[in-house]
Amino acid sequence: MELQLDAVMKNYKSKQVLKGITLTMGTGVYGLLGPNGAGKTTMIRMLADVLRPTKGRILYDGKDIRDLGDAYRAKIGYLPQDVSFYGDFTGRDYLEYSAALKGMEKARAKRRIEELARSVGLWEDLKRNCTAYSGGMQRRLGIAQALLDDPEILILDEPTSGLDPHERIKFRNIISAYAKDRLVLLSTHIVSDVEQIAAQIMMMEHGHIRHIHTGGEYVHMMEGRVWLVEMPADRLVDFQNQAVISNVRAKDGCMEVRIIEEAKPFPDAVQAMPTLEDAYLYLFNYLPEKARR
Ligand SMILES: Nc1ncnc2c1ncn2[C@@H]1O[C@H](COP(=O)(O)OP(=O)(O)OP(=O)(O)O)[C@@H](O)[C@H]1O
Ligand SMILES: [Mg+2]
């Protein structure tokens, strides 16, 4: 299975939001990272076929998804960035209703609802009105909804926003097991969500996909560019305006500061093992804009 964007552009009035995206995705997990307003949701909504490109095409196995229509949408599970719940629905009602919309057969729907409610940790809460769920619980209900019909293409827009650390780990496990022979595309601001599980990580900015690499390739790129240095807390207040700092932690009455820098920033700085988050900060916050393209 192959999903392709072919020179996809999107304008809102005169504003160009996606500036000609061409890429091909196969099976596996694809992570989509980028600052607020980069165009992640716009791209995702087009792949979910709820928004049409202004120009360009999206192809599923070589066929335009506009021509495939319902046949394409039947292959998709989609979690929008903002889902609002209203009315008198329990969690179970919501999932049953979603299953009916997807045309799922009743017995299978019942079985899937049970399986998924257990795996996202909502089994005990299915009887409760979902408008009374916490933000993280509503997010997990949305994830279960997207997974219901075993879609071949699973598209999740910030699935982990609001999830606590334990639930985020459970989510990662569900997704990496799920993606074995399917395509999962997820956007997130939590870099560690995709670091371990994504086969390819896309970094998007100003309507362009600037980079597509494996997590390992990003980390490799950062070797020799991440430093640890200790300094007193009051010096840090000034220093943080002159440097890209990826982390700070208290250590022996001092602050240990993690700095992104091409060359050793202080004589006593020591090199650190890079992470994907360091690469993100390097690409979006360290390099001047013209050097990023
Ligand atoms: N319906 C709309 N009308 C006009 N402009 C829009 C519309 N939807 C999005 N935009 C603009 O398109 C750009 C990209 O928005 P998009 O929601 O795709 O970004 P994003 O990468 O998902 O950001 P975030 O990380 O905040 O979710 C932004 O400048 C946004 O203001
Ligand atoms: Mg978004």
pLDDT of residue 109: 98
* Architecture of the 3-213 domain: 3-Layer(aba) Sandwich (3.40)
Domain map (residue ranges) of the chain:
3-213, 220-291
Task: Determine the distance from the C-alpha atom of residue 278 to the mean position of all C-alpha atoms in its chain, rounded to a whole number.
Answer: 17
Q: Which of 9, 10, 12, 202 has the most ligand 1 atoms within 8 A of CB, as the residue to mutate?
A: 12
pLDDT of residue 290: 67
Instruction: Please give the single-letter amino acid code of residue 254.
Output: C
Reply yes or no on whether the pLDDT at 17 is more than 70. yes
> How close is the Cα of 33 to the center of ligand 2, in Å?
10
Q: Whose CA is nearest to atom 3 of ligand 1?
A: 12
The rounded distance, in Å, linking the Cα atoms of 5 and 28 is: 17
The rounded distance, in Å, linking the Cα atoms of 125 and 131 is: 12
What's the rounded mean pLDDT across residues 233-261?
A: 91
Query: Over the stretch 132-158, which tens digit does the pLDDT of each residue have?
Result: 999 999 999 999 999 999 999 999 999
The rounded distance, in Å, linking the Cα atoms of 174 and 20 is: 32
Query: Over the stretch 110-134, which tens digit does the pLDDT of each residue have?
Result: 999 999 999 999 999 999 999 999 9
The closest-lying atom of ligand 1 relative to the alpha carbon of residue 13 is 4
What's the rounded mean pLDDT across residues 55-74?
A: 97
> How close is the Cα of 158 to the center of ligand 1, in Å?
14
pLDDT of residue 289: 74
Residue 238's pLDDT band, with cuts at 50, 70 and 90, is confident
> How close is the Cα of 41 to the center of ligand 2, in Å?
4
Query: Over the stretch 49-63, which tens digit does the pLDDT of each residue have?
Result: 999 999 999 999 999
Average pLDDT taken over every residue of the chain: 95
Residue pair 130/138 in contact (Cβ under 8 Å)? The answer is yes
User: What percent of the chain lies above the pLDDT cut of 90?
Assistant: 89
Reply yes or no on whether the pLDDT at 253 is more than 90. no
> How close is the Cα of 63 to the center of ligand 1, in Å?
27
Q: Which of 14, 18, 42 has the most ligand 1 atoms within 8 A of CB, as the residue to mutate?
A: 42
